[in-house]
Structure 1
Amino acid sequence: MPSFLQVALLLAVVILAAKGAGALSKRLGQPAVFGELLVGILLGPSLLDILHWPVFTDPHYLEQLVRDLAELGVIFLMFLAGLETDLTEMRKVGTAAFFGAVGGVALPFLAGTGVALAFGFPTYESVFIGTILTATSVSITAQTLLELGRLRSREGTTILGSAVIDDVMGIVILSVVVALHQAGLGEGPGTAPGAGAAGIATLLPIVLRMAAFFLAALAVGRWLLPPVLRAAARWPGTEPLFAVALVAGLLMAVAAEELGGVAAITGSYMAGVMLTLHPDLKHHVEERLAVLAYGFFVPIFFVNIGLESDVVAAVAESGAGFLILILAAAVLGKVIGSSLGVRPFGFRWIEALRVGIGMVSRGEVALIVAGIGLQEGVISQPVFSVMVVMTLFTTLVTPVLLRWSFGRAPDSPSGAAAYQPVPGARSGEAD
């Protein structure tokens, strides 16, 4: 079979499997991403090892192609995340949401780093493991709160606000960690001995380089990109505005990594955030990008996570003890950290507990961060596979714990009669 037909066959299997598993997952009351991740693991070396089937004669080429398409999927996914960031709402959620996010970032970071250090991982790899655990994805939480009629409750509003701030904090932490690694400050796999001491002297230039990039990106996104897009809208042809916006997102991703020394997703995320200041452009780009991303690139990204993960080997190599403690750090770090963060602002303990539980799910955000760590050589393959298991576990446990926490409050109204869903709110993961 010619190579292009092998590519066509592989992509057809991957996309169909992802969408079918996602649909089945939602029918079973779980988010689509859970099914997409699970089918990726089934298709990967953990079970079926699809890339090494006899029909595919050049598995190394196909593996690289799928990986590159998955990386583009991450860029588009974070572009969409930026478009969905509500800057106005961030200013309204108040100090409770801010400190809920701070607690939900700080404690998992410290817990994850501490667990990794205790198991003998190098310092830099341990720090990156802690960074992965800071992630939050509340699409699962939002869906559950909608079903419970609690999305507009005090806890629901605080969770959504904290999640937005959590995302921004996570992007900043990831950018700093990646920049330091690229400058030789890391001690992870692939870093030359003694590079850390030499890299410390370059810390100030790294920070200045990152700051310069962020300022330049803000200026471009705020004042240059909107008029360029509006001018492109007048070009003859099909979808010129969307095409130029796509180019802008890709170039911002390239500039972030090559010029700013930060993760590529930082650039595409900022491009999306800047477009939220112009609602007409935002809606035009978001509608079209969602079709392209969720219809093609994002399913490949989620399935590729499984294709690169050998869960059985990961557990055998890293040990069941490490996996169990990482799962505990992932769940308890968010629950305790976010709960303590909001508690001083008039939240009863049960209300604070609900906020903490709502921040537990990691979803696609943790997978993006873990994928960058694997690509940069910061974390090993077994650690990456453990992070996939952690993501699946937190995705599964969050709805169960949320329903339990709302069900045990004696004075709380129950069901949809208590609150009405937000008009136009998105009901969970995009398919």
Structure 2
Amino acid sequence: MIISVIALACAGSAIAAILARWMPRALLPALVLEIAFGILIGPNGMALLAPGPAMEMLAKLGFGVLMLIAGLEIDLGMLLARGQKAKQASPLMLAVMMSLMTVVMAAFGAWLLLDSSTPLLHLAIYAVILSTTSVGIVVPTIQERRLADGAYGQTILSTALLADFFTMIAISSLAGIVVSGRAEGALGSLALVGIAGLAIWLLPKLLARVPAAQLDSRTSLPLVRLSLALLFMVAWLAERLESELVLAAFLAGLLLGQIIPRNSHRRETLEAIGYGFIVPFFFINVGLKFDIPALFASPKALLLVPGFVAVAFANKIIPALLLVPAHGRKMAVAAGLLLSARLSLIVAASDIATRIGVLDTATNAAMVLVAIISAALAPLLFNILVDRKAPILANAEA
């Protein structure tokens, strides 16, 4: 069974990658086509494959590796550095301001769309869900445009990751309040962040004494093996602390980013393993699990979709205008469009909200549709606005 799952998924990811490159200027990322492939072969399509334990396991591994790569891409020196100009904020400061504006606008949008009798706590949960950003879309899109090393790309990446941090911690805390009046779910995540922070501070100093040649080999690949081992060890620790895999994997990547030199070809090896094999399982599984019948059975949920989509784009594009002084209006709007992409975390947050009774099944399906729409439109519009010379210009500003 697992061989057939792997065969179908690998064939789908290969087809998606080829189709994405054939499209004019590669406007549509392969990962969006992988979701479409999952819908096509899933229960609501050709019924060749259904969600199950094997696919769930592979998808979870893919998501973990995806978040590992996301953490690996973050340059802490770039994030914490001050702008070269006196009035230019650092990427991290801009990311914080943009994230705070996103939450406020998401809360206001949810208040406008939902019934006036909706409890305040439920509105907060909707605001958290609509504040998410898909690092899984942002990271490969930024990498494809070679923007990751510049201040512009780092601001987009850090904003996406701050949104993910907020979502992971806030949704667990709010769910704990709804269920038991306590926010115990956030304690494990906070502990994990503290442990990772200590490791990020200590380990690079200890490993600096080891010659770089001893950490690399074309046959034994110690850096690659260390990376994967660290991913699973931190994931185990997160499980013990009742935290989330997404946070654990990102922290593992952030730690590795301080150990593996930015010019090391082993980073490319990890990306090849991830994007070339294991990550597509995650996106195909999203397509397999999309519940079309539940959505169309509720006209009310269908009517909410356009409103949720409007809020999802507005609460990213308007805060992104803070980038205008440093990068220009066109690039600022492009950043807002890319950050509007939702996928994995909005699905996870909606699932938690459904489980605790804040969302019903139809509204949950509507949120998944919002994720699919934004995942398809956001990178496409970003690629239209950002021309081929943008990476050079953006990196020159770093």
Question: Cα offset for 1:22?
Answer: 3.2
> Which one of the candidate residues 309, 313, 332 is aligned to 1:327?
309
Identity %: 20
Partner residue in 2 for 1:97 = 94
Secondary structure (helix, strand or coil) at the match of 1:138 reads helix
Aligned partners of 1:49 and 1:388: how far apart in 2?
A: 20
For structure 1, which runs of at least 5 residues remain unmatched after alignment? Answer: 1-5, 53-61, 407-414, 424-431
> Which one of the candidate residues 201, 213, 223 is aligned to 1:222?
201
Partner residue in 2 for 1:69 = 58
Distance 1:335-1:309 versus aligned 2 partners, 3 A rule: same
1:46 aligns with 2:44: yes
> Which one of the candidate residues 103, 127, 130 is aligned to 1:130?
127
Question: Cα offset for 1:281?
Answer: 8.6
> Which one of the candidate residues 279, 303, 306 is aligned to 1:298?
279
Aligned partners of 2:53 and 2:112: how far apart in 1?
A: 32
- Which has the higher mean CA deviation after the structures are superposed, 72-81 or 163-172? 163-172
Aligned partners of 2:105 and 2:186: how far apart in 1?
A: 24
- Which has the higher mean CA deviation after the structures are superposed, 366-375 or 250-259? 366-375
Aligned partners of 1:214 and 1:335: how far apart in 2?
A: 29
Q: Deviations along 1:3-28, whole A, 9 cap, x unmatched?
A: xxx32122211221122023213322
Counterpart AA for 2:5: L
> Which one of the candidate residues 269, 286, 304 is aligned to 2:267?
286
1:366 aligns with 2:358: no
Secondary structure (helix, strand or coil) at the match of 2:304 reads helix
Q: For 1:98-113, what aligned pairs fall within 5 Å after superposition?
A: 98=95, 101-102=98-99, 105-111=102-108, 113=110
Aligned partners of 1:122 and 1:65: how far apart in 2?
A: 39
Counterpart AA for 2:75: D
> Larger C-alpha radius of gyration, 1 or 2?
1
Distance 1:169-1:286 versus aligned 2 partners, 3 A rule: same
Counterpart AA for 2:13: A
Distance 1:38-1:122 versus aligned 2 partners, 3 A rule: farther
1:185 aligns with 2:177: yes
User: 2:339, 2:378 within 8 Å by CA — same for their partners in 1?
Assistant: no
Secondary structure (helix, strand or coil) at the match of 1:39 reads helix
Question: Cα offset for 1:185?
Answer: 1.6
- Which has the higher mean CA deviation after the structures are superposed, 135-144 or 324-333? 135-144
Question: Cα offset for 1:404?
Answer: 7.5
1:397 aligns with 2:377: yes
Question: Cα offset for 1:264?
Answer: 1.7
Question: Cα offset for 1:180?
Answer: 1.8
Aligned residues: 375
Partner residue in 1 for 2:86 = none
Partner residue in 1 for 2:163 = 170
Kindly report the root-mean-square deviation, in angstroms, between the aligned alpha carbons of the 2 structures.
4.1
Question: Cα offset for 1:222?
Answer: 3.5
Aligned partners of 1:245 and 1:143: how far apart in 2?
A: 20
Aligned partners of 2:97 and 2:21: how far apart in 1?
A: 29
1:23 aligns with 2:12: no
User: 1:138, 1:358 within 8 Å by CA — same for their partners in 2?
Assistant: no
Distance 1:103-1:158 versus aligned 2 partners, 3 A rule: farther
Distance 1:209-1:358 versus aligned 2 partners, 3 A rule: closer
> Which one of the candidate residues 248, 271, 279 is aligned to 2:230?
248
Counterpart AA for 1:41: I
1:266 aligns with 2:247: yes
Distance 1:112-1:32 versus aligned 2 partners, 3 A rule: farther
- Which has the higher mean CA deviation after the structures are superposed, 88-97 or 167-176? 88-97
Partner residue in 1 for 2:32 = 34
1:238 aligns with 2:220: yes
Aligned partners of 1:418 and 1:84: how far apart in 2?
A: 19
User: 2:41, 2:48 within 8 Å by CA — same for their partners in 1?
Assistant: yes
Question: Cα offset for 1:71?
Answer: 1.1
> Which one of the candidate residues 150, 160, 167 is aligned to 2:153?
160
Q: What's the TM-score once normalised by structure 2's chain length?
A: 0.76
Distance 1:243-1:384 versus aligned 2 partners, 3 A rule: farther
Secondary structure (helix, strand or coil) at the match of 1:45 reads coil
- Which has the higher mean CA deviation after the structures are superposed, 86-95 or 37-46? 86-95
> Which one of the candidate residues 53, 59, 71 is aligned to 1:82?
71
Counterpart AA for 2:21: K
Question: Cα offset for 1:111?
Answer: 4.6
Counterpart AA for 2:274: A
Q: Deviations along 1:375-394, whole A, 9 cap, x unmatched?
A: 78356654454334323322
Q: Deviations along 1:376-429, whole A, 9 cap, x unmatched?
A: 8356654454334323322443466557878xxxxxxxx667984678xxxxxx
Question: Cα offset for 1:300?
Answer: 0.8
User: 1:179, 1:262 within 8 Å by CA — same for their partners in 2?
Assistant: no
Q: Deviations along 1:289-348, whole A, 9 cap, x unmatched?
A: 223222322111100001111235324335321111111111122122322x446x578x
Secondary structure (helix, strand or coil) at the match of 2:177 reads coil
Question: Cα offset for 1:286?
Answer: 2.6
Question: Cα offset for 1:163?
Answer: 1.6
